[in-house]
Chain A
Amino acid sequence: MIKYYHFARIAFGDHLSGRLRIFTRYLIFLLLDWVMIAMWDLIYKSGYGPEQISVVDMGWYMAFSQMMFFLSPRLFIVIDSDVRSGNVGYFLNRPIPYLWMRLSEGIGALFGNLLIYYIVSVPFLYWMIGEFPSTGWFGIIAVMGGLVLASVLHLLFQILAGLSTFWTNDAIFIYHSYQKFCLLFGGIYVPLALYPGFLSGEVLKFFPFASMVGNPVSLIFAPSLVGFFEVLALQIFWLGFVGFGLSAFYRLCLRKVEVHGG
């Protein structure tokens, strides 16, 4: 395990050294937050806001749901590049599984982002929304806690998208498809509880997409220890399930490399 720790540690330092890149990405995050907060502000002003959720709480929900996509690094691009350039062949000779090496690097960079986004975002979001959520710091901390494993799950999906390059020669296309699924089933634009009958939020909350966005971010409305551990338990289940699937998929990729070359 120590070697994975060192990969993560190096990736952490490397990620934080790209200050200009982090700054640019953070600006995009703020812009998207701004747009989503403005959208819900308009919905409330038009008289359609749900009574059970205040406009302030909804603003925080929107901001944190956007944040999930920005917390983890763009790992699928790295894997896509490795596969297309053939560099993956060199990594396979190393005495460390490529899959878990890239994941540990992703987790290292993720912790770099967590540090920045969690510290910098709270004052910015307070400035944009104008108030803290009705559940206060407890709600914010619960969401932040829930987003850690959510981001690791997102990393696993990114690796899946990246490895799909072996067949599609294009991870970006697959990743964009995945992102659209997240937008629909994750509750990014609208909390899952407000979904209409034909897309039952009660069912969708058991999907992996909800475990990444809707479930952890909904803790902002009513945080509780029981609720937090329920979210965590479902995330751990999906981490295990997707991790197992990813491992099997990786073996399939290895066979392709052995047959066709890197």
Chain B
Amino acid sequence: MEGNFIFTMGSNFQFLLALVRMTFKSAVGQRSALLIRAFFSVITHLIYIPVWYVVFSVAPDLSGWRLEHALYAYGLAISCWGIVSLLAFGLRMIPEQIDHGELDSYLTLPKPVILSAAFSSSKNTGVGEVLFGVCLLIFCGIHYGFSFVPMPFFVLMGSVVFASGILFFATLGFWLKQFIGSAEEIYFNFNLMASRPAPIFTGALKIIALTLVPVSLMSHIPIDFVVHHHWLTLTYAVLGVAAYAVLAVSFFYLGLRFYESGNRFGIKG
């Protein structure tokens, strides 16, 4: 039984790697488009930094949260956005795929459906976003003395949270038609909220930031760890990330039962 489970996990992982390889090849194939979009995405994200300069010029210290924390949080948030766009853009498109009946083709591919749906498309702006986010994190490390060691882990952890969040909200598309516009708005604000100062989130807002829209797991707790080294909090956060991912995937499969397929024919290679 246990051997069977490990075999299935191994097969799924191989399938995942194959999908990621294929998606990445397709993204890299459009070299000029990739470079242009990467350039513009860096410019776009640079614009957002003065927003925090403006906020912190008015209030330099918000209960211990300063400009360097906002920049670190923004670096994390943008890296996660880029990684998800580059590798799992399909998650963002789930509401549109539901509306157009395009999930049908994934149902015929090797299971699990979620892997095919998530990793079958890529957005090449992700390259610029990952580059920008990582550069910002490195800048924070050099200029403000934040440790570099946990950064890759935090980016990975944040990406899982963000991808799960996207999946969770995209799944609402099974019940809400033409949800893609609202869904994009949710993803965008989810990501922006991750860069907002942690001390804002108190009381009920803190509960929301740890459960339904877990931006605290994405940026606030990692930054708290970088400053205070609270291992126990980080351990709980990792458990929280795993639980949220399981919740999102379960919710997706619940929604899949409501999927009214077969309204449009298409072939996916």
- The docked-state distance in angstroms from the alpha carbon of A46 to that of B175 is 43
- The docked-state distance in angstroms from the alpha carbon of A128 to that of B96 is 34
Q: Choose the segment among A174-182, A213-221, A224-232 that binds chain B (4+ C-beta atoms closer than 8 Å).
A: A174-182
Judge whether A173 and B41 touch: CB under 8 Å.
Answer: yes
Interface of A is mostly: helix
Query: If A34-B205, A38-B202, A46-B62 touch, does A77 touch B193 (CB 8 Å cutoff)?
Result: no
Query: If A39-B196, A48-B60, A173-B41 touch, does A199 touch B54 (CB 8 Å cutoff)?
Result: yes
Interface presence of A172 (CB below 8 A): yes
The smallest C-beta distance from A53 to any residue of chain B, in angstroms, reads 11
Interface presence of B182 (CB below 8 A): yes
Least CB separation from A181: chain B residue = B47
- The docked-state distance in angstroms from the alpha carbon of A2 to that of B56 is 51
Judge whether A183 and B48 touch: CB under 8 Å.
Answer: yes
Please pick, from B59, B123, B182, B200, the residue contacting A24 in the complex, using a CB distance under 8 A.
Answer: B182
The residues of A that contact B178 with a CB separation of less than 8 Å are 18, 21
Query: If A28-B186, A176-B188 touch, does A38 touch B62 (CB 8 Å cutoff)?
Result: no
- The docked-state distance in angstroms from the alpha carbon of A183 to that of B189 is 12
Query: If A39-B196, A73-B181 touch, does A176 touch B44 (CB 8 Å cutoff)?
Result: yes
Judge whether A31 and B213 touch: CB under 8 Å.
Answer: yes
The smallest C-beta distance from B209 to any residue of chain A, in angstroms, reads 9
Please pick, from B62, B181, B184, B189, the residue contacting A43 in the complex, using a CB distance under 8 A.
Answer: B62
The residues of B that contact A32 with a CB separation of less than 8 Å are 189, 193
The residues of A that contact B213 with a CB separation of less than 8 Å are 31
Interface presence of A9 (CB below 8 A): no
Query: If A18-B178, A173-B41, A180-B48 touch, does A196 touch B57 (CB 8 Å cutoff)?
Result: yes
Interface presence of A20 (CB below 8 A): yes
Interface residues of A in 8-53 (CB under 8 A from B): 18, 20-21, 24-25, 28, 31-32, 34-35, 38-39, 42-43, 46, 48, 50
Interface residues of B in 132-176 (CB under 8 A from A): 172, 175-176
- The docked-state distance in angstroms from the alpha carbon of A46 to that of B185 is 31
Judge whether B193 and A42 touch: CB under 8 Å.
Answer: no
The residues of B that contact A176 with a CB separation of less than 8 Å are 44, 188
Interface presence of A252 (CB below 8 A): no
Please pick, from A20, A39, A172, A184, the residue contacting B175 in the complex, using a CB distance under 8 A.
Answer: A20
Query: If A38-B200, A173-B125, A180-B44 touch, does A46 touch B59 (CB 8 Å cutoff)?
Result: yes
Query: If A25-B185, A39-B196, A179-B188 touch, does A194 touch B41 (CB 8 Å cutoff)?
Result: no
- The docked-state distance in angstroms from the alpha carbon of A99 to that of B47 is 29
- The docked-state distance in angstroms from the alpha carbon of A34 to that of B207 is 13
Least CB separation from A85: chain B residue = B100
Judge whether B182 and A172 touch: CB under 8 Å.
Answer: no
Judge whether B200 and A42 touch: CB under 8 Å.
Answer: yes
Please pick, from A48, A73, A74, A180, the residue contacting B45 in the complex, using a CB distance under 8 A.
Answer: A180
Please pick, from A21, A42, A184, the residue contacting B51 in the complex, using a CB distance under 8 A.
Answer: A184
The smallest C-beta distance from B220 to any residue of chain A, in angstroms, reads 13
Interface presence of B127 (CB below 8 A): no
Interface residues of B in 32-73 (CB under 8 A from A): 37, 40-41, 43-45, 47-48, 50-51, 53-55, 57-63
Interface residues of B in 175-233 (CB under 8 A from A): 175-182, 184-186, 188-189, 193, 196-197, 199-202, 205, 208, 213
Least CB separation from A48: chain B residue = B59
- The docked-state distance in angstroms from the alpha carbon of A195 to that of B176 is 40
- The docked-state distance in angstroms from the alpha carbon of A77 to that of B179 is 10
- The docked-state distance in angstroms from the alpha carbon of A42 to that of B125 is 35
Judge whether A74 and B182 touch: CB under 8 Å.
Answer: yes
- The docked-state distance in angstroms from the alpha carbon of A190 to that of B185 is 21
Judge whether B193 and A46 touch: CB under 8 Å.
Answer: no
Query: If A39-B197, A42-B200, A73-B181 touch, does A189 touch B188 (CB 8 Å cutoff)?
Result: no
Please pick, from A38, A69, A184, A194, the residue contacting B47 in the complex, using a CB distance under 8 A.
Answer: A184
Judge whether B182 and A35 touch: CB under 8 Å.
Answer: no
The smallest C-beta distance from B253 to any residue of chain A, in angstroms, reads 21
Please pick, from B37, B179, B186, the residue contacting A173 in the complex, using a CB distance under 8 A.
Answer: B37
Judge whether A190 and B62 touch: CB under 8 Å.
Answer: no
**Interface positions of B (Cβ within 8 A of A):** 37, 40-41, 43-45, 47-48, 50-51, 53-55, 57-63, 96, 123, 125, 172, 175-182, 184-186, 188-189, 193, 196-197, 199-202, 205, 208, 213
Listed by A's residue number, 27 A-B pairs whose Cβ atoms lie within 8 Å are A21-B176, A25-B185, A28-B186, A31-B213, A32-B189, A34-B205, A38-B205, A42-B62, A42-B200, A43-B59, A46-B59, A46-B62, A46-B63, A48-B58, A48-B60, A50-B58, A74-B181, A74-B184, A81-B96, A173-B40, A173-B123, A189-B51, A189-B55, A194-B58, A196-B54, A199-B50, A199-B54
Besides the known contacts A28-B182, A48-B60, A176-B44, 12 further A-B residue pairs in the complex with CB atoms under 8 A apart: A18-B178, A21-B176, A28-B185, A28-B189, A35-B201, A43-B59, A50-B58, A81-B96, A173-B123, A177-B44, A180-B47, A184-B51
